[in-house]
Amino acid sequence: MHRILAFLLLASVSCLAQSPVLHTIDQNLNTWWSYAGDHPIAGGWSAISEAEIRRTTFLATPHQVVFREAAAYRFSPHAQASVGYIWTRNARYGDFPAKHAFLEHRTFQQLSLRHALKHLDVDHRFRIEQRWLQDFSQGEAYFWRYQNRARYQFRFTLPISRANERGQQWHLFAGDEIMFHFGPNHGAHALNQNRVQAGIGYHLTRNNRVEIGYLNQYVLQQNGLVDESNHTLRFQFISTARLFGKR
């Protein structure tokens, strides 16, 4: 696993380093406000429901709205598989905006793994996505452009205080996610995005926590001429409370 991690990081850095010097870097200051719920239902089954509002120029301008719904099955405390659907609305933003705001429909399959490494909790997330993007490249008319994308995320969580009887506890987190296109219609780059993040969180209860952190979203636009470096302040509420009855 650690060799795979090192390879993916090296591939990400290498791809970014090979970007031609004529590329323009579009710098944006964003905020992401999100809710992420993974709610047990019965046995190993749970319902995943997530919503995120993303703004740019800090709060002034719309960036994206994302809704994610999925069904998940937990095989053990260390492994969970899920399948789901994502709806996204992408606004025009930055110094090099898209011609039109556009929608995206997405289905995905995901495997999440967790293990301990001394005092750290380590999470790995592998996701395959099937994407249908609203494409206005032919003027005002549009069609649905299909893409495939693979994503891998790893994240470290470090408790920095002892949990009390209510489960309240502080923690630090850091991680990275890399996204690759595969198959047709991905444009100039196979590498799509890289997201580095770090921050601090607090468990309000054993099943609910809040996190605030910095995330750098580096996006290689499909035209091959512009890259985005989106400096992002992210606020997240995360819940694993049972939907029905007590956990």
Specify the DSSP element, H or E, that contains 39. strand 24-42
DSSP letter for each residue of 81-105: EEEEEEEEEE---SSS--SS-EEEE
Helix (H, G, I), strand (E, B) or coil at 3: helix
For the chain, the straight-line distance linking the first and the last C-alpha, in angstroms and rounded, comes to 32
Helical segments of the chain, H only: 2-17
Specify the DSSP element, H or E, that contains 158. strand 141-159
Q: How far is CA 133 from the centre of its chain?
A: 18
Mean pLDDT of 205-227: 93
More confident residue, 148 or 223: 148
Q: Is 50 exceeded by the pLDDT of residue 13?
A: no
If one counts every other C-beta atom within 10 angstroms of the C-beta of residue 125, the result is 18
**For residue 139, what are its two tokens?**
């003027």
Model confidence band, residue 1 (pLDDT cutoffs 50, 70, 90): low
Mean pLDDT of 12-29: 66
**pLDDT at residue 65 in the model:** 98
Contact 156, 176 (CB under 8 A): no
Model confidence band, residue 193 (pLDDT cutoffs 50, 70, 90): very high
Mean pLDDT of 40-44: 93
Q: Is 80 exceeded by the pLDDT of residue 16?
A: no
If one counts every other C-beta atom within 10 angstroms of the C-beta of residue 66, the result is 19
- Look at 36-40, 86-90, 98-102, 207-211 and tell me which has the smallest mean pLDDT: 98-102
Residue count of the chain, please give it. 247
- Calculate the alpha carbon distances from 123 to 31, 115, 172 in Å: 24, 7, 14
More confident residue, 23 or 123: 123
Percentage helix, strand, coil for the chain under 3-state DSSP, each rounded to 5? 5, 70, 25
- Nearest to residue 184, comparing CAs of 156, 216, 145, 152? 145
**pLDDT at residue 246 in the model:** 55
Mean pLDDT of 131-138: 89
Model confidence band, residue 184 (pLDDT cutoffs 50, 70, 90): confident
Share of the chain above pLDDT 70, in %: 90
Mean pLDDT of 171-180: 98
More confident residue, 25 or 19: 25
- For residue range 50-104, what is the model confidence (pLDDT) as tens digits? 999 999 999 999 999 999 999 999 999 999 999 999 999 999 998 888 888 999 9
Q: What domains are there in the chain, each with its CATH number?
A: 2-239 (2.40.160)
